[in-house]
């Protein structure tokens, strides 16, 4: 059966998954980019984002985790802030995501919002669908669209937390980075049924400690 996964979600040692003061200039909050240095360095990241030649970027454990993040995935769900900084109604609908014309998803992406908008078809197989009737509906639509493959909850923190609180996440991979942010947005903040999860043995590179949690069915 297809699973609901959280993949390669980066957290600082002091528990923040985004820095403070998120904005158009700082979509990950001030200092938040550092959380992802381990990911940026990988070969898979370089390839997915068309950076450098085929041999650029590091292989190894971190790369395995980044590669695994997109393997067997048929759809994504994103919170609205993860899609963009626009608030309220969509207006002229000029905003088409942070990722340019060819986003790195290459499959249907369901964006949680209170404001209806027509689907937005991008290059490379990514179509953004805007879901106004809640996280369970978004999951149902994503499952249908994924055709038996897994659905990834892509973030941000509030969206992952909402799916955790609804007990709808089967597997979660968190990467703890050697960074202290001091403030920002916490993933674990509020009631989550944490006792539902079992840990795989920890594995780490020098740049990230990888924790994989599975829901005990």
> Which residues here bind a second copy, judged by CB under 8 A?
13-15, 174, 176, 178-182, 186-188, 191-192, 194-195, 197, 199, 201-209, 211, 213
Least spacing, CB of residue 180 vs a second copy, in Å: 4
Least spacing, CB of residue 70 vs a second copy, in Å: 24
**Maximal CA-CA distance, the chain:** 49
Token readout for 191 is 């009631």
Burial of 168 (0-12, 13-18, 19+ CB in 10 A): middle
Token readout for 44 is 């898979």
SS3 of residue 151 by DSSP: strand
What percentage of the chain's residues is helix, strand, coil (to nearest 5)? 25, 30, 45
Instruction: Identify which of residues 35 and 213 has a Cβ nearer to a second copy in the complex.
Output: 213
| β-sheet bridge partners, residue 18 | 185
Least spacing, CB of residue 206 vs a second copy, in Å: 3
Instruction: Identify which of residues 105 and 211 has a Cβ nearer to a second copy in the complex.
Output: 211
Residues, the chain: 217
Instruction: Identify which of residues 5 and 76 has a Cβ nearer to a second copy in the complex.
Output: 5
Least spacing, CB of residue 78 vs a second copy, in Å: 23
Do residues 29 and 178 touch, judged by C-beta distance below 8 A? Answer: no
Least spacing, CB of residue 181 vs a second copy, in Å: 8
Least spacing, CB of residue 33 vs a second copy, in Å: 16
Instruction: Identify which of residues 7 and 131 has a Cβ nearer to a second copy in the complex.
Output: 7
SS3 of residue 4 by DSSP: strand
| β-sheet bridge partners, residue 4 | 151
| β-sheet bridge partners, residue 76 | 109, 152
Token readout for 106 is 């290459």
Instruction: Identify which of residues 40 and 90 has a Cβ nearer to a second copy in the complex.
Output: 40
Instruction: Identify which of residues 50 and 201 has a Cβ nearer to a second copy in the complex.
Output: 201
């Amino acid at each position: 059966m297809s699973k609901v996964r959280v993949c390669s979600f980066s957290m600082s040692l002091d528990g923040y998954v985004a820095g403070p003061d998120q904005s158009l200039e700082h979509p990950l909050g001030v200092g938040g980019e550092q959380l992802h240095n381990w990911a940026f360095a990988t070969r898979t990241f370089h390839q997915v984002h068309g950076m450098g030649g085929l041999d650029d970027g590091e292989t190894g454990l971190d790369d395995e985790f980044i590669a695994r993040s997109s393997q067997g995935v048929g759809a994504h769900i994103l919170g609205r802030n993860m899609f963009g900084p626009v608030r309220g109604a969509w207006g002229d609908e000029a905003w088409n995501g942070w990722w340019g014309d060819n986003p790195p998803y290459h499959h249907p992406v369901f964006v949680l919002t209170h404001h209806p908008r027509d689907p937005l078809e991008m290059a490379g197989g990514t179509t953004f669908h805007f879901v106004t009737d809640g996280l369970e509906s978004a999951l149902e639509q994503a499952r249908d669209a994924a055709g038996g493959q897994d659905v990834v909850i892509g973030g941000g923190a509030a969206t992952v937390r909402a799916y955790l609180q609804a007990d709808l996440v089967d597997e979660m991979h968190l990467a703890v980075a050697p960074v202290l942010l001091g403030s920002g947005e916490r993933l674990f903040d509020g009631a989550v049924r944490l006792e539902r999860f079992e840990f795989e043995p920890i594995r780490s590179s020098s740049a990230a400690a990888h924790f994989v949690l599975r829901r005990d069915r």
